[in-house]
Amino acid sequence: MTAATVALAPPANPWVGFGARRLGRLLVSLWVLVTASFAMIHLIPGDPVRGALGPTAPADLVEARRHALGLDDPLPVQYLHYLQGLFTGDLGTSLQSRLPVADVVAQRLPATLMLAVLAFLTAVVIAIPLGVAMGVATRRGRGHRTEVAFTSTSTVVATIPDFLIGVALVYVFGILLGWLPIAGNDTAASYVLPVISLAIGPAAILARIVRVEMSAVLEADFVRTARAKRLPSRTVYLRHALPNAVTGALTIGGLLLSAMVAGTVLVENVFAWPGLGSTIVQSILTKDYPVVQAIVLVYGVGVLLTNLVVDVVLALLDPRSTIREA
């Protein structure tokens, strides 16, 4: 092949390289996660079978249980069995309930997903209008006191742990006022306090980011051109400025969604929410390590998939820079 032929050859599709790199990173991350979740049960001090059966259980019963679970096999053999089980959907058996761990996860996962998704949507609904309004109010150095008050308040709110917000909400709206239920998810009202507990901190962070992005976008040339055409302010802000302002916040939004999924662990325990978070804490206390192992794996996969979705969305919104940097 001559140099001229190479020069005339069409460039490779950048999406192919982007997809290959992202898929490679995902597979490596999944392998690390799976290996870490497998090692966890062997690194935790104590015998999980003895812990599940109790200190007075006969030694022969403990050994029979360990043999039934394959815990007396060499570690490489156990690792291969673990991988085989993952590919076939077998996450093991609960040491406490004797139920398949996959069934336990399937029963609890929907409640956790619903809580995390509702909290994320609530954070977005609060953050974007608030950030846009603050960006408009403080552009070009105007509203200095408003900017200081907003920045200070949002910083304080963002640093408060989710579970502390939940405890405060339970005390005020559940105990003192008695307006909302504080446990379970039997009614629509049961979602209000847990969702707010998870959403308020990320909403403060996102609102700050949107404000900064909005302030920068309003000084861009295309916005000045739109103003020169005497377009209504509503059109300038919503049609021209807003799409460019929120694009930069998507990356942080994806990271916050991952943090929300992990944050459900503590919030679920505050509100006795029947999800994975309350289940993993209960399983840790009862030394039901196969359930802990599976839930850790589910949380990790959720975070990895969330980050992958964010990368794809950013690539679709800004193909040139995202694909080149990926």
DSSP label at residue 10: P
CATH level 3 topology of 108-286: MetI-like fold (1.10.3720)
CA angle (297 as vertex; 296, 298 as ends), nearest 5: 90
Minimal CA–CA distance to 211: which of 102, 134, 115?
Answer: 134
Alpha helices in the chain (DSSP H): 3-8, 14-43, 48-53, 59-69, 75-88, 101-137, 144-159, 162-169, 192-217, 221-228, 233-235, 242-270, 276-285, 289-317, 319-325
pLDDT at 127: 87
pLDDT at 194: 92
Cα separation values, 102 from 41, 97, 213, Å: 17, 12, 43
Lowest mean pLDDT across 57-71, 79-93, 121-135: 57-71
pLDDT at 211: 84
Sorted by where each begins, the domain ranges of the chain are 20-88, 108-286
pLDDT at 10: 46
Instruction: Please say whether the beta carbons of 163 and 267 come within 8 A.
Output: yes
Please check the confidence at residue 242 and state whether its pLDDT lies above 50.
yes
Instruction: For the beta carbon of residue 99, count every other beta carbon within 10 angstroms.
Output: 12
Q: The tokens of 103 are what? A: 């069934």
pLDDT at 9: 47
Please check the confidence at residue 95 and state whether its pLDDT lies above 80.
no
Task: Summarize pLDDT for 17-27 with one digit per residue, the tens.
Answer: 777 788 888 88
